[in-house]
Structure 1
Amino acid sequence: MEKKNNSKLKLTTLAMAQIAVSAALLCVLSPLAIPLPIPVPFTLQVLVVIMIALILKPSYAIIAQLIYTVLGIVGLPVFSGGKSGFGTILSPTGGFIIGFIIASFFVSLVKEKLKIKNSVLRYILSSVIVGIPCIYIPGIAMYMIFVKTDLLTAIVTLTSVFILIDLAKCVIASLIAVPVNKALDKIK
């Protein structure tokens, strides 16, 4: 008799639907961008990435993010401002795309492991303490490389405009994720 390997990723129909809808949300909402006087525009990407991480399991969240990223790399205009191609990742804002992949996994992982009963508080803490650094660190690093600037200038340029907005996006994503997760629990 064969033993079942429980460590394998089990993609149920519900899981595949969640991943597909999440990747589609990223593809539809990420190109929407408001240009700013710095190379990084205002987008809904952080909100959607965090929301997906708070709703899906870690492996599902990263799969959705990778599908979105691959679609952008192969030429679909799904990145910020309708950009596409591998060159978008190798640009001043490309680190944020890498950060979204990292954040999708770790925010989801931490929200599952954090021992706080209040879901909204657990989600906010997971997204703010883990998500923001996971997104910002590669974003700032790539910005420094391509703009050829120092760490302090990169941090001030990128965080002074976005940090409060991104913190608000984490709160909004958390408030959306709680009722969505409750509804999904009912159909599982």
Structure 2
Amino acid sequence: MFITVSLIIFTGVFAQFRFFLPDNPVPITFQTLGILMMGGLLGPKWGFGASLSYVLLGMAGIPLFQGGNGGFAYTTGVTGGYIIGFILASTTIGYFIKKGLSDSKCIWAYLIGTSLVYIPALIWLSIFDFSWPEEGKLLSQAVYPFLIGDTIKAIVASLLTIGILKSKLKKYIL
């Protein structure tokens, strides 16, 4: 339980490290790093529970999201699909890691999990009208600008997970 709560706090703190690209209301944040590690360190069930708790606590108004945001209105705004994708990503990564992957396959699990964040985001943005992204520019504005950073975060999270799971800390996790 301590690790779960710590990862939720870690994710909320890392959400505050953000920057915006020009003409893009979705910030680049480091909260993804914490979300990815939830799955890798806690497995599919606890990873799901931790990421769902993070989202529900933020939805309840606790300022866990970027810029100290929280509340129902924020989670149903333009970033809502990405936030839903966090749950899918951490659960999927947890599932793959629980299978006992080699180090190189662990990295692939994180890359797959990271890419799954985009599926609910794209569906969300195509259903609801936020006046963004511009018509016909869904991928070029809502996915492509984030790919390099998210790939780097996935690799860093996988390397941190590999290191932690090979260390003496493993007995406190999973």
Q: Normalising TM by the smaller chain, what interval?
A: 0.7 to 0.9
Q: Matched residues in 2 for 1:78 and 1:182: separation?
A: 30
Q: Deviations over 1:45-65 (max 9, x none)?
A: 222211221111211111111
CA contact (8 A) 1:91 1:143 kept: no
CA contact (8 A) 1:91 1:142 kept: no
The alignment's TM-score, normalised by the length of structure 2, stands at: 0.87
Shift of the alpha carbon at 1:185? Answer: 2.9
Which shifted more, 88-97 or 139-148?
139-148
2:81 maps to a residue whose letter is: G
1:39 aligns with 2:25: yes
Q: Matched residues in 2 for 1:28 and 1:67: separation?
A: 15
Identify the residue that residue 4 of structure 2 maps to in structure 1.
19
Q: Matched residues in 2 for 1:173 and 1:152: separation?
A: 33
- What percent identity do the matched residue pairs reach? 30
CA contact (8 A) 1:72 1:85 kept: yes
Matches within 5 A, 1:1-188: 16-37=1-22, 38-113=24-99, 116=101, 118-119=102-103, 121-129=104-112, 131-144=113-126, 145-147=128-130, 153-183=137-167, 184-186=169-171
RMSD of Structure 2 on Structure 1 (CA): 2.0
Q: Deviations over 1:1-37 (max 9, x none)?
A: xxxxxxxxxxxxxxx1111111111121113321222
CA contact (8 A) 1:32 1:82 kept: no
Measured at CA, do residues 151 and 128 of structure 1 come closer, stay the same or move farther in structure 2, by a change above 3 Å? farther
Equivalenced residues, count:
169
Shift of the alpha carbon at 1:171? Answer: 0.5
The alignment's TM-score, normalised by the length of structure 1, stands at: 0.81
Gaps of 5+ in 1: 1-15
Gaps of 5+ in 2: none
Q: Matched residues in 1 for 2:161 and 2:135: separation?
A: 34
Shift of the alpha carbon at 1:104? Answer: 0.9
Q: Matched residues in 1 for 2:172 and 2:40: separation?
A: 17
Larger Rg: 1
